[in-house]
Chain A
Amino acid sequence: MRLLAFLARRIYQSVFVLLGLSILIFIIARILPGDPARTALGARAPEWVVERLREDMHLNDSVPVQYVYWLRGALGGDFGDSLVTRRDVANDILEFFPASFELVLLAGIISGVAGIGLGTLSARHKDTWVDNIVRILSYMGVVTPAFVFAIMLLLIFGLALNWLPAIGRLSDGVPAPPTFTGLMTVDALLAGQLATFWDALKHLIMPAVALSLGALSQEARITRATMADNLSKDYIATARSLGIPERIVMGRFLLKPSLIPTVSILGLDFAGTFSNAFLVELIFNWPGLSRYGMNAMLRKDLNAISAVILVLGVIFITVNIVVDLVVGGLDPRIRLRAARTE
């Protein structure tokens, strides 16, 4: 019951935030001087055709009216047409989303598993050489932007050693697997095409690793700090002193409370990963949403820009709500305090 109330409240708040976001985007998009209709049709189109398009795009109406038209369309899933691809933006997004999702998902898994794992290892062997190496590496991971990592990986593994391919999702000549989920690796496995799976994986690994390193380092640092802190807490000493075996003390009673701060930042880490994806997709020529959005931004494709930002906003807000739920699940203090103040 409390869960539903919490969800309901968050969704209610999110609606307002999304509304505000859409207004913000709209205002930004309309600041641009110039004539979107003219840009779409080119310099040689006759004036009356351009004027017709202007009417269609409601460009001659006042800004609030334009917003209403746009909003109505957006709610119905119609974001207009892209000036660049000349197709329905909604379709474009659906087409490019899975590639980004595959990338960000793998990056997220790598950073979560490796980050928490390394952090735990580091805390367990606090102040030894293992700990020091992990600390140094994770610090460097935090201060190095993802695109620098991407370029380095590209240089070393892609070009110098030539172990991994540098472009796209599949090599030339390898046919794409049938679409079940849109994630090429998963689809290839489901269809039993092992060779395709390997090829897709080889293309996926470098950008995913480059993308994961920032969040990985963040999570390793926080996990290590929290675990090292919690190791000296009284409740661990109590558990030990009452005869509970060490593996249970470490694996259960230390682990769960130590995960809380790390999970709390997963939302922010996810935002960071998606941001970095914008550049990493460009570097590896990955046909994903970020690259689509990036191209839209460079070419001032307003419909596409607005749509991409709105979609990202929805995704991000959803992820934040999920993260809050998970943290609430882990930490009863948050659940109970929230219930008390509501």
Chain B
Amino acid sequence: MAQPSKVETLAPPITRQYVRQLQRRNRMENLGRGWYKFSRNPLSILGAATVLLVTLLAIFAPWIAPHPEHAAPFTNFAHAHLPPSLEYPFGTDEIGRDILSRVIFGFRLSLWMGVVVLALVVPVGVVLGLIAGYAQGTRLDTIIMRLTDVFLAVPPLILALAIASVLEPNLTNSMVAVSLMWWPWYTRLVYGLASTLRNEFFVSSAETMGASTSHILFRELLPNMISPIFTKMSLDMGWVIIIGSMLSFVGLGVQEPTPALGTMVAKGARFLPDQWWVSIFPALAIVAVVLGFNLLGDGLRDLFAGEEV
């Protein structure tokens, strides 16, 4: 004889709250598994370690750098153009400043720029992308996406250079320039995700229950996009640093004597090959920090890859 089904008495009622609990637990499990995968991949750990190191150097620069005063106006012609040694591990430049200290302060600048630019760009880009994606097919969608097309019509660096060139060359303006050319990438990314997700059932069920638009955008759609956005952000740090160094390479970023990695590479290029250290060490520093962020970003992408929407 068939037994009476015990199924109904064991399962809790399927409420939205319960579903969300399950989602949260599922996500935690996936993150746990992902973290395990992440920690076993030596490259991701290397990336994370590099980023951590650079961040610490940047934050504690005035205390860690052996000659912090060299990041400010300073000259010491007696010690100019010294090759790498114990006192000056990266050598000195043409007016006697310690390159290692300047590189450390350069990190500070690069990271600061990356943080500010992303802090500006991500909210704006994501919100626009959410709105456009949710309003897919309407006029609003077209307007927003045409706007991103306009900004993306020119190769990104060139736009940043153009904007930076019409403004006074300083840190703030270079951040403005990079931000103005960066935001469309986030809008594009989020637009693609949102316009796919908006057709899922959980959105239409929220709509029928009378949820407000902002609820749908931020409490339904957005949480499902956290992983790709996050991955992009960590990879972008590297790219923003590169663009920033390209701007300062041509002289459109911060001005002397504030140390910027790109500027140091450019100015030092004059002294190749004899005093190669003036240009090469800052160049290697750029590569190192970008490599770190890229490895970290790749590791994060693998971590989140375990999570299926």
Question: Is the Cβ of A29 less than 8 Å from the Cβ of B166?
Answer: yes
Contacts of B249 in A (CB 8 A): 147, 279
Q: Does residue A179 face the partner (Cβ distance < 8 Å to B)? A: no
Interface class of chain A by DSSP: helix
Contacts of A154 in B (CB 8 A): 269, 272
List 4 other contacts, CB 8 Å, given A29-B166, A145-B245, A145-B246.
Answer: A18-B153, A274-B158, A298-B250, A300-B166
A95 to B241, alpha carbons, bound, how many Å?
34
Partner of B273, one of A13, A159, A305, A317: A159
A-B contacts, CB under 8 A, total: 122
Partner of B162, one of A139, A274, A305: A305
Interface residues of B (CB under 8 A from A): 146-147, 149-151, 153-159, 161-167, 238, 242, 245-246, 249-252, 265, 269, 272-273, 276, 279-280, 283, 286-287, 290-291, 294
A28 to B291, alpha carbons, bound, how many Å?
34
Partner of A17, one of B150, B157, B294: B150
Chain A interface residue count, CB cutoff 8 Å, equals 48
Of A28, A147, A305, A309, the most chain B CB neighbours within 10 A belong to A147
Of B167, B249, B279, the most chain A CB neighbours within 10 A belong to B249
Question: Is the Cβ of A21 less than 8 Å from the Cβ of B161?
Answer: no
Known A148-B283, A148-B287, A316-B155; judge A298-B166 contact (CB<8 A).
Answer: no
Select from chain B the residue with minimum beta-carbon distance to A24. Answer: B150
Select from chain B the residue with minimum beta-carbon distance to A20. Answer: B150
23 contacts between A and B (CB under 8 A): A17-B150, A17-B153, A20-B147, A20-B149, A21-B154, A140-B291, A145-B245, A145-B246, A145-B290, A148-B287, A155-B276, A159-B272, A271-B156, A275-B158, A275-B246, A276-B157, A296-B165, A297-B162, A297-B252, A305-B162, A305-B165, A309-B154, A313-B153
Question: Is the Cβ of A275 less than 8 Å from the Cβ of B157?
Answer: yes
Interface residues of A (CB under 8 A from B): 13, 16-18, 20-21, 24-25, 28-29, 31-32, 139-140, 142-145, 147-148, 151-152, 154-155, 159-160, 271-272, 274-276, 278-279, 282-283, 293-294, 296-298, 300, 302, 305, 309, 312-313, 316-317
The smallest C-beta distance from A44 to any residue of chain B, in angstroms, reads 25
Partner of B149, one of A17, A29, A160, A279: A17
Question: Is the Cβ of A28 less than 8 Å from the Cβ of B166?
Answer: yes
Contacts of B164 in A (CB 8 A): 297
Question: Is the Cβ of B269 less than 8 Å from the Cβ of A283?
Answer: yes
Contacts of A298 in B (CB 8 A): 165, 250-252
Contacts of A144 in B (CB 8 A): 287, 290
Contacts of A13 in B (CB 8 A): 149
Known A142-B294, A143-B290; judge A17-B272 contact (CB<8 A).
Answer: no
Contacts of A283 in B (CB 8 A): 269
The smallest C-beta distance from B252 to any residue of chain A, in angstroms, reads 8
Known A275-B156, A305-B165; judge A145-B286 contact (CB<8 A).
Answer: yes
Of A142, A152, A275, A300, the most chain B CB neighbours within 10 A belong to A275
Question: Is the Cβ of A313 less than 8 Å from the Cβ of B269?
Answer: no
Partner of A21, one of B153, B165, B246: B153
Question: Is the Cβ of B146 less than 8 Å from the Cβ of A16?
Answer: yes
Known A294-B250, A297-B165, A298-B251; judge A17-B146 contact (CB<8 A).
Answer: yes
Question: Is the Cβ of B269 less than 8 Å from the Cβ of A151?
Answer: yes
